[in-house]
Amino acid sequence: MSNSIIETVQLCYEYTLGGEKTLRALDNVSLQITEGEYVCLIGPNGSGKSTLARHLNALLLPAAGDVYVDGLLTGEEKHRWEIRRRVGLVFQNPDNQIVATTVEEDVAFGLENMGIDPPVIRRRVKEALELVGMSTLAQHAPHLLSGGQKQRVAIAGIIAMRPRCLVLDEPTAMLDPRGRREVLATISMLNRQEKVTVVHITHFMEETLEADRIIVMDRGKIACSGTPAEIFSGELDLESLGMDMPAIPALARALREGGLPVPPNTLDVDQLVDYLC
């Protein structure tokens, strides 16, 4: 795919469990992610989602196979600095990524390590905080922020480095509903308005409904992929993979089974209400 920003080719990875025992976390995973795409990775615990995420900016290197970022091979050491500049990784716990005493200083931290000139740093920090809606809290201490605000600061720190792709490993797992809404709105805005490629790993099925594509993983392999409408149409047995359907697609499926021909692409409340009315 000529406009793919990430490509994995028969990617394999194993963890050593002790002695001669190993666990194959990724098993011949081949995928392509197009520039500007919003992709969600879902799957049960242990399916390989987080391991795959860490390969996308060379935090982990393949045991076999290859990973390309914008045409650069992660296995070649000379490319890794540039790969990590192009692909930013946001983890589950924002406290693990916050290192400074003020919001503004924290967002500037990565830029300072890149050796960027101070005037450029100031401009990028200002722009990044505006993008995530945190400008008014630039001088606040991060430890006084809510969970959602902390995660938005962590995202701003990555965005300030101008990555072309943002990989988020369960960024809302530790947040309350309000924090989840704040972070999801930020992710959607960055993708739709700023055209940042997004790879979003989540176990909340409702968070996948705005994605362009969902990739379902199971035991280190890609079980299937498709649009949210295709994945949640009811034809795929998510329960057998240890996952639940989102509430509205599940209700739509129940209504279809009861004889009401609700369209299979009904994903949200508004669509279901419009059909029923």
Q: Which domains does the chain have, with CATH numbers?
A: 4-245 (3.40.50.300)
Residue 228: its pLDDT value, please? Answer: 93
Residue 1: its pLDDT value, please? Answer: 44
Residue 236: its pLDDT value, please? Answer: 77
**What is the rounded average pLDDT of the residues 235-243?**
82
Residue 75: its pLDDT value, please? Answer: 93
Backbone angles phi, psi at 139, to 5 degrees: -95, 5
Secondary structure class of 144 (helix, strand, coil): helix
Helices (H), 93-135: 103-113, 118-131
Secondary structure class of 79 (helix, strand, coil): helix
CA 15 to chain centre: 23
Question: Is the Cβ–Cβ distance between 62 and 54 less than 8 Å?
Answer: no
Residue 20: its pLDDT value, please? Answer: 78
State yes or no: pLDDT of 25 exceeds 70. yes
Question: Is the Cβ–Cβ distance between 107 and 162 less than 8 Å?
Answer: no
What is the CB neighbour count within 10 angstroms for residue 39? 24
